[in-house]
């Protein structure tokens, strides 16, 4: 399989990464292939067994230069100076048909110098979770890494649950550079490496950014837009460590991620987030904290006068709040079918959210119900919704918007189908037993989130009490 690689990261100084080949899989089998993405990347057609071999790391295509990227990170607030790709190999980069440079990375492909005692492998659960959720996010317009392929390896992986089938995910992104990548070199006071990384990341993501301050400003804006998208979908990343904060504003590292069913701002799913640091409502503040860590890394590049550099960086990071508020307002204006934002809209939204939280209403179904006229049925006390809806209709009338026009605006803001936790777990359980039909069905449905098919009505249902997922796991 001849892939036209052009590997710019591999041409950077060698202390930015470790060259390491992935571990071959004994019996690779392709279980998911993103044909549309492959075409966009300009990848050649190849037999299924060839693709399974390449995207499991068993066969290296000509031009691949596998490497594991070095990075550090704050994990739940505590700094770890060396993390890095402990179970991932960047095969190389391609120039997509639209001219965008894209990384192709294997995840779950074996040990690297950054594995920290781990086996470097992935079992099929986290591979399918990331495939499903990242592709659903892309379909909903959220900036994200993409899933190109999922391959079972034919080898077991041992976890707390016992013997599980191994798998490899092929992930595609404009880069895999994180805040933690900068932190790795900042903690080592390696200013030349920070400069090199800045030049590379700027070219990859923000070529219009002429200075480190411009670059920081662009990253702040990208993160504000990203987190507002998450909030508008009830998405909880679950592990917003700086090593999982993408420099270009992409959603990356889907480990214990989840979408809320019943709305509550303090919702947490991640099993390792014992104190709710990364709860749904905390995500904007955590983004600011992460950006402050990036700003600290860039200080040596910003100005010779460090006091002036600190003042400039602080002002830029503080700019997150108004950018986020504008993006958040735009997201939820669309979700309410409003043509613009006006004074009182924040209070209107908050009243709805407060009633949803109090009455255990499902986040996705309430907003989709606004679009279909069935939102009242999601409340244990429908009159609470109807009282709010009277104010909502008054607000629509004030701007001259009919409910029909509002529903048109909501048609691409309020999905009907999301990869609900219990459905993802159902698909994983079936896949462990060798049945990939639930995965394929859920994937097909969640990649058309705004246009549910008649046969997908059950995928829109919230979980029954016995189906509720209380915790999600990283999968490492």
Task: State residue 403's pLDDT score.
Answer: 85
The helix (run of H) or strand (run of E) holding residue 326 is helix 320-335
Q: Write out the E strands in 6-139.
A: 17-19, 29-33, 67-69, 73-75, 78-80, 88-95, 101-107, 122-123
Residues 6+ apart with CB under 8 A from 378: 361, 362, 365, 366, 369, 385
Tell me, what's the pLDDT at 92? 98
* DSSP E strands, 108-176: 122-123, 146-159, 162-173
For 366, half-sphere exposure in the C-beta direction (CA atoms, 13 angstrom radius) is: 30
Provide the 3-class DSSP secondary structure of residue 46: coil
340 a catalytic residue: no
What pTM was computed for the model? 0.97
The Cβ of residue 48 has, within 10 Å, a number of other Cβ atoms equal to: 10
Backbone φ and ψ for 417, nearest 5 degrees, come out as: -125, 130
Report the SS3 class of residue 166: strand
3-class state of residue 79 by DSSP:
strand
Sign of CA dihedral 142, 148, 153, 154: positive
Q: How many whole angstroms separate alpha carbon 357 and alpha carbon 238?
A: 20
Angle at 284 between CA 442 and CA 80, to 5 degrees: 90
197 near 294, Cβ under 8 Å?
A: no
**What is the per-residue pLDDT for 2?**
87
Q: Are 194 and 186 in contact (CB under 8 A)?
A: yes
**Catalytic annotation, pick one of 49, 103, 214, 243:** 243
The CA distance from 254 to 76, in Å, is: 16
Burial of 21 (0-12, 13-18, 19+ CB in 10 A): middle
Determine if residue 268 is left, alpha or beta; phi over 0 gives left, psi from -120 to 50 gives alpha, anything else beta. Answer: beta
Q: Are the C-beta atoms of 104 and 4 separated by less than 8 Å?
A: no
H helices within 141-211, ranges in order?
A: 179-186, 191-205
Dist CA 372 CA 403 (whole Å): 10
d(Cα 227, Cα 237) in Å, to the nearest integer? 10
Smallest CA-to-CA distance from 23 within 50, 65, 59, 63 is with 59
CA 100: distance to chain centroid? 19
Secondary structure of residue 351 in the 3-state scheme: helix
| DSSP summary character for residue 353 | H
- Spatial neighbors of 438 by CB under 8 A, at least 6 apart, are 423, 426, 427, 430, 431
Burial environment of residue 206 by CB neighbours within 10 A (0 to 12, 13 to 18, 19 or more)? buried
Distance CA 464, CA 476 (A): 29
Instruction: Quote the CA–CA distance of 190 and 169 in Å, as a whole number.
Output: 32
Residue 57: which region, alpha, beta or left (left: phi > 0; alpha: psi -120 to 50)? left
| pLDDT at site 476 | 57
The β-bridge relationship of strands 88-95 and 101-107 is: antiparallel
Per-residue pLDDT of the chain (476 residues; tens, 9 = 90+): 889 999 999 999 999 999 999 999 999 999 999 999 999 999 999 999 999 999 999 999 999 999 999 999 999 999 999 999 999 999 999 999 999 999 999 999 999 999 999 999 999 999 999 999 999 999 999 999 999 999 999 999 999 889 999 999 999 999 999 999 999 999 999 999 999 999 999 999 999 999 999 999 999 999 999 999 999 999 999 999 999 999 999 999 999 999 999 999 999 999 999 899 999 999 999 999 999 999 999 999 998 899 999 999 999 999 999 999 999 999 999 999 999 999 999 999 999 999 999 999 999 999 999 999 999 999 999 999 999 999 999 999 999 999 899 999 999 999 999 999 999 999 999 999 999 999 999 999 999 999 999 999 999 999 999 999 988 887 65
Q: Hey, is 156 helix, strand or coil?
A: strand
């Amino acid at each position: 399989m001849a892939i036209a690689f052009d590997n710019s990261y591999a041409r950077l100084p060698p202390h930015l990464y470790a060259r390491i080949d992935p571990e071959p899989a004994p019996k690779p089998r392709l279980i998911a292939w993103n044909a549309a993405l492959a075409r966009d990347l300009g990848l050649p057609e190849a037999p299924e067994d060839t693709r399974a071999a390449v995207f499991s790391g068993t066969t290296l295509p000509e031009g691949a230069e596998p490497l594991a990227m070095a990075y550090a990170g704050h994990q739940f607030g505590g700094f770890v100076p060396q993390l890095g790709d402990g179970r991932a190999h960047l095969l190389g980069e391609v120039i997509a048909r639209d001219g965008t440079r894209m990384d192709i990375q294997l995840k779950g492909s074996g040990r690297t110098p950054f594995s920290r005692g781990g086996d470097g492998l992935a079992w099929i659960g986290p591979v399918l979770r990331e495939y499903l959720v990242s592709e659903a996010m892309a379909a909903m317009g959220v900036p994200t890494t993409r899933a190109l392929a999922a391959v079972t390896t034919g080898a077991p992986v041992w976890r707390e649950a016992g013997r599980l089938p191994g798998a490899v995910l092929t992930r595609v992104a404009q880069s895999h550079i994180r805040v933690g990548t900068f932190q790795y070199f900042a903690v080592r006071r390696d200013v030349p490496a920070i400069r090199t990384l800045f030049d590379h990341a700027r070219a990859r993501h923000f070529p219009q950014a002429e200075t480190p301050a411009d670059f920081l400003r662009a990253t702040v804006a990208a993160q504000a837009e990203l987190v507002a998208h998450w909030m508008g979908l009830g998405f909880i990343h679950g592990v917003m460590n700086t090593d999982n904060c993408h420099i270009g504003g992409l959603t990356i590292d889907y480990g214990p991620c989840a979408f809320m069913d019943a709305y509550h701002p303090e919702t947490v799913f991640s099993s390792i987030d014992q104190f709710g640091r990364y709860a749904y409502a905390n995500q904007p503040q955590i983004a600011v904290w992460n950006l402050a860590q990036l700003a600290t890394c860039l200080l040596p590049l910003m100005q010779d006068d460090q006091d002036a550099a600190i003042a400039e960086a602080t002002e830029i990071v503080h700019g997150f709040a108004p950018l986020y508020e504008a993006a958040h307002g735009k997201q939820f204006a669309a979700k309410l079918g409003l043509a613009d934002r006006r004074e009182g809209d924040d209070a209107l939204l908050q009243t709805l959210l407060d009633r949803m939280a109090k009455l255990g209403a499902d986040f996705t179904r309430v907003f989709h119900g606004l679009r279909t006229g069935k939102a009242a049925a999601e409340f244990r006390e429908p009159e609470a919704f109807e009282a709010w809806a009277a104010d909502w209709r008054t607000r629509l009338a004030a701007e001259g918007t009919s409910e029909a026009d509002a529903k048109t605006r909501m048609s691409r803001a309020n999905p009907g189908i999301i990869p609900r936790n219990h459905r993802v777990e159902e698909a994983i359980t079936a896949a462990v037993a060798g049945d990939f039909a639930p995965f394929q069905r859920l994937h097909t449905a969640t990649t058309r989130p705004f246009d549910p098919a008649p046969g997908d009505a059950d995928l829109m249902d919230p979980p029954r009490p016995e189906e509720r997922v209380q915790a999600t796991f990283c999968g490492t």
